[in-house]
Structure 1
Amino acid sequence: MARVLNNLLLFLIRLALKIRVWGYWSLIYGYCALCTTAALLKLCWNIVLRPTTTFQWGIRETPPACLNDTSLGTHCYVRIKESGLRFHYIAAGERGKPLMLFLHGFPEFWFSWRYQLREFKSEFRVVAVDMRGYGESDLPLSTESYQLDHLVTDVKDIVEYLGYNRCCLVGHDWGGTIAWLFAIHYPEMVTKLIVLNCPHPSVFTDYALRHPSQLLKSSHFFFFQLPRFPELMLSINDFKALKALFTSRSTGIGRKGRWLTAEDLEAYLYALSQPGALTGALNYYRNVFRWGDDSYLISFFFL
């Protein structure tokens, strides 16, 4: 009798977990479907109203002069033995000074830190890295290559390659997420942690699950789960959506006198227009809901 009850209990637990997992993925992909429908309607509306809409990728062949500004630092490359990936970074300041490492977000690259490189190079060895899949760093083809544990390990490998065992870590957006996780996993390697535009992962997850309005504001997380279609939406009409992301008053730099220059904007479009660049950037989002030790959103969903 005890064995029957035990087996029944195990069956009920497994069934409850399966129902919960099924419900979780139904929520994820149901929301993806809603976001896709909205994007398709917007695309069709633009085609009807603007027949000249182009679907060309508009790859930029020549980098703007600002990317070769020597006052920002020296362009360097490192190939990490463990991952086999080559990373590009800009370094300035005297060797031997404390390391300040900058991690950019989406959809950016090392150029986002141009002002900070100039500002802090007198006191630090400043390094702004192109994250994997961005800029001149290698772009792995598989989506799984962008899981959070790989991204955190990248930071550790780069710090050690630079000859340091600790750093002042600065992260923005996705770079902020990785900075949080790096500090959690390797606290002894972080002297100071500065995070911009990215709350602590557990705080964000708890808040998002308790406030549906935040899920609506984070709807791009769900839309970006789709293959290829987000790349299309971001690139059509000569990257109009990306231009708006950087320059609109709601999402871009809208402060009077602080707007991006035409050359600055072209620098971002040059980096993101290269073959596979948008896919590499979007693959960060495509691993958010995957199982894994560092898949914080799904982990906290089941707490």
Structure 2
Amino acid sequence: MDHFDLVRIKLSTGVELDVATMGDPTHPAMIFLHGFPESHRTWRHQLPAFARDHFVIAPDQRGFARSSKPGSVGDYAPQHIVADLIALADHFGIARFTLVGHDWGGAVAWLAALREADRIERLVIINAPHPLLFQRSLFDDGAQRAASQYITAFRNPQFEDHVERIGLGAFFDASFRPHADLDAMAAEKSVYLDQWSRPGALTAMLNWYRASAVIVPAMDEVPPRPAFLDAPFPPLTMPTLVIWAMQDGALLPVQIDGLDAYVPHLTLTRIEAGHFAPWQAPAAVNAAIRAWLADGMADGMAG
């Protein structure tokens, strides 16, 4: 099991994050954002690989592991997480950086790319849907709506009581069984259970879902359609790589349909893996990122 030394950083946003760093701080920066229900260890195969020629930074985001866990649901609204990201870059004196996000970390990365385009030089998304396309799919695509019903369960204020009844070990099995080989995860299980057992950790992680404005209609519901779903939406301005694991059972391939309309400088790479692609298919993920970065450097030299 790879070990990363963590440094505790107090951000201007008022939270303290545990942060893994590797590489030479004078090299170009890459910031990696994990999702639910993980930590910086999502990136255990990426950090050493890209630290060879980048300064890599991977925080345990607010609410996760031993990082700060603010007490209110509103503290986990996406704008606060984006503010953490920018404050983290400011802490290291990084003006512009390549941003890499998976799952909820990818959702934050999409929003940051839209709101903080001057700070993000390149964007890498791994199985995290574009915000407009995701919300639209929850109205228009029955399979994606069905696959996303877990969000409603996570938003239930009694969900923590359910986990307490079944135990964290059973919650681990239920969380990963649909997406990963539990036997292959045996060495990591104790790490997850230690992180989830921190005081307030489970509620803090679930509060990411509760603070989100995403509407998840019930399967038999015909809700009013938000006007913004069919209105113009701003395109991204930076080069963007989207790596999509085609065996993801939670975020279906419908999420990449029509993506190029909103991401003009898009490179789309499909791989055969499940939802947790950064550690399920690290060779494919790393190769896709490395090739894309090399292409970008070549384009820059040609320009």
User: Shorter-chain TM-score: which interval?
Assistant: 0.5 to 0.7
Tell me which structure has the larger Cα radius of gyration: 1
Selected match of 1:251 from 148, 161, 179: 179
Identify which range, 236-245 or 180-189, moves more after superposition: 236-245
In the aligned structure 2, how far is the partner of 1:302 from the partner of 1:148? 22
**CA distance 1:234–1:207, shift in 2 (3 Å):** same
Higher relative contact order (CA 8 A, sep 6+): 1
- 5+ residue gaps, structure 1, are 1-65, 292-296
Mapped contact 1:130–1:136 kept (Cα < 8 A): yes
Alignment of 1:121-270 (within 5 A): 121-227=51-157, 229-239=158-168, 240-246=170-176, 248=177, 250-253=178-181, 259-260=184-185, 262-270=186-194
Mapped contact 1:75–1:88 kept (Cα < 8 A): yes
Q: Using the TM superposition, give the Cα deviation of residue 276 of structure 1 relative to its aligned residue in structure 2, in angstroms.
A: 0.6
**CA distance 1:204–1:161, shift in 2 (3 Å):** same
Higher helix share: 1
TM-score, normalisation: structure 2: 0.68
In the aligned structure 1, how far is the partner of 2:116 from the partner of 2:203? 29
Alignment of 1:60-71 (within 5 A): 66=1, 69=3
In the aligned structure 1, how far is the partner of 2:226 from the partner of 2:154? 16
In the aligned structure 2, how far is the partner of 1:299 from the partner of 1:265? 43
In the aligned structure 1, how far is the partner of 2:199 from the partner of 2:167? 14
Aligned residue pairs, count: 221
**CA distance 1:125–1:235, shift in 2 (3 Å):** farther
Aligned residue for 1:108, secondary structure, equals: coil
Q: Using the TM superposition, give the Cα deviation of residue 204 of structure 1 relative to its aligned residue in structure 2, in angstroms.
A: 1.0
In the aligned structure 2, how far is the partner of 1:210 from the partner of 1:280? 30
- 5+ residue gaps, structure 2, are 216-224, 232-303
Mapped contact 2:137–2:145 kept (Cα < 8 A): no
1:58 alignment partner in structure 2:
none
Mapped contact 1:235–1:241 kept (Cα < 8 A): no
TM-score, normalisation: structure 1: 0.68
In the aligned structure 2, how far is the partner of 1:284 from the partner of 1:129? 16
Aligned residue for 2:199, secondary structure, equals: coil
Mapped contact 1:180–1:201 kept (Cα < 8 A): yes
Aligned residue for 1:96, secondary structure, equals: coil
Mapped contact 2:64–2:201 kept (Cα < 8 A): yes
Instruction: Provide Cα deviations, 1:94-153, integer angstroms capped at 9, x if missing partner.
Output: 111111111000000111111111111111111110111111210000111011111111
Selected match of 1:87 from 17, 21, 38: 17
In the aligned structure 1, how far is the partner of 2:46 from the partner of 2:25? 17
1:51 alignment partner in structure 2:
none
In the aligned structure 1, how far is the partner of 2:207 from the partner of 2:228? 21
1:278 aligns with 2:207: no
In the aligned structure 1, how far is the partner of 2:60 from the partner of 2:82? 14
